[in-house]
């Protein structure tokens, strides 16, 4: 079994996959992160693509939910233009995932004796198989 020390020894930053991170925000609607590929010496790596990610919060019945999404763009200006579309798509995906989780939860078959305490949430039974009322 791997110890915590062994796991920590395996943690290494990949020098061939480094990015410089910059955040741009209007302090209102959200923010855009630009990840610029760099080499180990910190100089830009023109052989790899710059990545853009949008961040926003959506108000829900449970409070604010963070939304993160990739923005396919070639420049910060283009990422700004595509931000609303990306946020809308990310919220739609999140809503679909929530509906799917609710559907899965609702379709679970409840089998006596499979959970929720003694008897799986069912009342205790007597040795004759009759339900024992408290």
pLDDT confidence of residue 69? 97
At 52 the three-state DSSP class reads: strand
Q: How far apart are CA 45 and CA 49, in angstroms?
A: 9
Residue bearing the bigger pLDDT, 5 or 103: 103
- Reported confidence tier of residue 123, pLDDT bands at 50, 70, 90: low
Break the chain down into helix, strand, coil percent, rounded to 5: 30, 30, 40
pLDDT tens per residue, range 53-70: 999 998 888 888 899 999
| pTM reported for the whole predicted model | 0.70
The pLDDT value recorded for residue 6 is 80
The CA distance from 79 to 82, in Å, is 5
Burial bucket for residue 52 (CB in 10 Å: 0-12, 13-18, 19+): buried
pLDDT of residue 125: 54
Residue 14 banded pLDDT, cuts 50, 70, 90: very high
The DSSP symbol for 121 reads: G
Domain ranges, ordered by start, for the chain: 12-107
With helix as H, strand as E and coil as C, how does 75-120 read? CHHHHHHHHHHHHHHHHHHHHHHHHHHHHHHHCCCCCCCCCCCHHH
Biggest CA-to-CA distance, the chain = 79
């Amino acid at each position: 079994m791997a110890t915590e020390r062994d796991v920590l020894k395996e943690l290494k930053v990949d020098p061939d996959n480094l990015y410089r991170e910059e955040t741009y925000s209007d302090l209102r609607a959200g923010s855009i992160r630009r990840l610029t590929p760099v080499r180990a010496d910190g100089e830009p790596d023109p052989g790899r693509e710059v990545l853009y990610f949008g961040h926003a919060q959506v108000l829900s019945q449970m409070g604010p939910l963070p939304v993160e999404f990739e923005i396919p763009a070639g420049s910060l200006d283009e990422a700004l233009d595509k931000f609303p579309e990306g946020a809308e798509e990310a919220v739609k995906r999140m809503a679909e995932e929530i509906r799917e989780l609710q559907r899965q939860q609702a379709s679970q078959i409840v089998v006596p004796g499979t959970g929720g305490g003694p008897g799986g949430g069912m009342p205790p039974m007597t040795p004759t198989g009759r339900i024992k009322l408290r």
